[in-house]
Structure 1
């Protein structure tokens, strides 16, 4: 029951809404969440979507920066062939959802590494029925960098939920995709005003590199 999604121009730095907060990504406190980048959701954009190619490239840049800065990387992935009782109200809006194992796989270009954590996704919010909050707390992480699909659904719901848990969400505008540019823009506008920091790939990569170097320098002086 997903729509057929047409490519559109991803937001650039000049397009981003001003965030009410003034947060900066700090490597020792951050984690990266790659949200729902499964074949089922990405296939909705059609074959050879230039927008999705850019989003994937940007997420790969974020992941490389995360690995270089030694921050944890999480993925969400919905399971296939869910029982209607387990799927709950999602059935009323989206039908049965994923059916095949191949649909549930993360797209090849973003395949998780052995060191990454894949969370089973049951609802829009990545914190729902998962141990994400506990894992972050145990590692002293109170920032969550969010990339993936769809911006106005799961990405925004997860950002709002993170805010409610005193975890600072960073929505990476050009490392997300959505049904329409209007949906994408609305998600960023709401987040910037109500629950998170809206940023772009270049800024996150730069902030991770900078804060990681500072941490390493402090450690070497200790």
Structure 2
């Protein structure tokens, strides 16, 4: 049974080679992402991949930015064409998916994400990504302020600090989003 959900988008955030590689010892961690993507695709839900990348020479990176200032000194490049910024093969975009490039932590910062969402009439976002305390938190806060309806797939979010992940999922995110596992989200689609 295929039902279109034209007002919904699944955001797959920062599942790019240079970030996914931090979890190389846990390949099973990407399974909930793959399941959510597969079901979203089969149900006609718009899939939007978000990556962080910069132009050659890093003109967007200020030395005053404590987090991104160090990017220009890393041996692994973070420009739009570098391998580190390409979406990981295990969740590779397909025709019809959208790729958004952001310049900061939030998926909205320095990107055209909001233009794409508004142009497509999308009002509901399902958030997944690496890391929970980075892109997911920043995007959730900004999306809530922009009045999007939000869901977060708890097991399709990863963080280097499991305690921070749990606090965000259990205490912070539920104030602005419905938090559920990828399996529970898939089940809710089947019930709709």
* TM-score where L is the length of structure 1: 0.74
The aligned counterpart of 1:34 is: 12
Query: Helix, strand or coil: the match of 2:53?
Result: coil
The aligned counterpart of 1:122 is: 103
> CA-atom RMSD, angstroms?
2.1
Q: Cα deviation per residue 1:134-172 (whole Å; 9 max; x = unaligned)?
A: 222222221111112000111111011111111012111
Query: Helix, strand or coil: the match of 1:93?
Result: coil
The answer to whether structure 1 residue 79 and structure 2 residue 53 are counterparts is: yes
The answer to whether structure 1 residue 191 and structure 2 residue 173 are counterparts is: yes
* Partner Cα distance (2:160, 2:34) in 1: 21
The aligned counterpart of 1:13 is: none
- C-alpha displacement at 1:114, in angstroms? 2.0
Q: How does 1:151-170 map to 2 (within 5 A)?
A: 151-170=132-151
Higher share of residues assigned helix: 1
The change in CA–CA distance for 1:85 and 1:60 in structure 2 (over 3 A counts) is same
Segments of 4+ moved more than 6 angstroms: none
Query: Helix, strand or coil: the match of 1:191?
Result: helix
Aligned residues of 1:152 and 1:186 also touching (Cα < 8 A): no
The change in CA–CA distance for 1:183 and 1:145 in structure 2 (over 3 A counts) is same
Structure 1 segments unaligned to the other structure (5+ residues): 1-25, 212-222
The aligned counterpart of 2:188 is: 207
* TM-score where L is the length of structure 2: 0.85
The aligned counterpart of 1:10 is: none
Question: Computing the radius of gyration over CA atoms, which structure comes out larger, 1 or 2?
Answer: 1
